[in-house]
Amino acid sequence: MKTLNNHVILFDNECPMCYAYTKAFVKTGMLAKGGREAYQSMSENICPLVDKQRAANEIALVNTENGEVTYGIQSLFKIIAHAMPIFKPLFLFGPFVYLMRKFYAFISYNRKVIIPAAVKENTIQPSFKIQYRLAYLLFTWFITAYILTAYAHLLTDFVPLGSQYREYLICGGQIFFQGIIIVFYKKEKIWDYLGNIMTISLAGALLFLPVLVIAQYLNIPSIFFILYFLMVAGLMFLEHLRRSKLLHLGWAMSITWVLYRLIVLGLIFTL
């Protein structure tokens, strides 16, 4: 594997994902030692031409010899293609480049709600683009509801099955209900909060996948499924508390988050 020398990648040190994959580039030898630096603390002599706001939006790769800067998916393509030239033709294929550029933007503009971290004051933050946040909310809503619809069939000894669209309505209702609450509570946090709660919902749903697979092959007592569901719900609540703290929202949104679920549960058993 060839090392891309004389290049520095500028990552976001407030983004755990960015920290991890840039560290992997160095550890695997794709970048030289010292080939990564946080854009928040980058030296001015690295390259005075770096657009700091764009570097916050799309990871920047600086050629320290000639000052050339690439951003976003092109930075990653350049590193990977140099290390593994076999991928060069793929990275020049227009439709693939277009799709990967959109996928990169989808992740990058939502990274603060996918894996949040404490944000330091007076640091450049990624721009907010509502189209990518709405796309993220729709994506997580659909995947979460789809998985929960499948898991609901394992809970029929305890919870009425309901229609095939019930979980979609519940997940969508959560966005609507909590969205109304936070508009009156802290309107400026609405998009960050909604992104975070849908990440929690998606993570909870993904935890059900192993059980769904195992249930196809093993005869498991039905009590296990409801206990596992309650355990996942408890973990989701703890994660909601953690993320609310990072957003400086206190307990209010966690209380209404639980309240919504109690209202839904009551409606399921009464309707």
Per-residue pLDDT tens digits for 46-61: 666 788 888 889 999 9
The pLDDT, as a whole number, for residue 47 is: 61
Interacting residues of 271 by C-beta distance below 8 A, sequence separation 6+: none
Mean pLDDT of 118-142: 90
Q: How far is CA 235 from CA 62, 70, 140, 172, 261, in A?
A: 41, 40, 18, 21, 15
Mean pLDDT value across the chain = 92
Q: Which residues contact 13 (CB under 8 A, 6 or more apart)?
A: 19, 38, 40, 41
**pLDDT at residue number 94:** 94
pLDDT of 42 > 80? The answer is: no
CA distance 102 to 121: 29
Torsion of CA 143, 146, 149, 150, to 10 degrees: -100
CB atoms within 10 A of CB 121: 4
pLDDT band of 118, cuts 50, 70, 90? confident
**Looking at per-residue confidence, does 63 or 98 come out higher?**
98
Q: Which amino acid is at 233?
A: A
Q: What is the pLDDT of residues 135-145, one digit of tens each?
A: 999 999 999 99
pLDDT at site 46: 62
Determine the pLDDT at residue 231.
97
Of 55, 14, 11, the C-alpha closest to 36 is 11
Handedness of CA 152, 156, 161, 166 (dihedral sign): negative
- pLDDT, residue 96, reads 96
65-92 tens-digit pLDDT: 888 899 999 999 999 999 999 999 999 9
Q: What percent of the chain has pLDDT over 70?
A: 97
The 10s digit of each residue's pLDDT in 171-205 is 999 999 999 999 999 999 999 999 999 999 999 99
Beta strands, E only, 177-269: none
CA distances from 13 to 26, 112, 116 (A): 15, 12, 12
Check: CB of residue 26 under 8 Å from CB of residue 33.
yes
Which pLDDT score, from 0 to 100, does residue 215 have? 93
Question: Pairing relation of β-strands 7-11 and 60-63?
Answer: antiparallel
Asked whether 120 and 14 are in contact (CB, 8 A), the reply is yes
User: Strand (E) positions, the chain?
Assistant: 7-11, 36-38, 60-63, 69-71
Report yes or no: 200 and 254 within 8 Å, Cβ to Cβ: no
Per DSSP, the three-state class of 255 is helix
What confidence score (pLDDT) does residue 44 get?
66
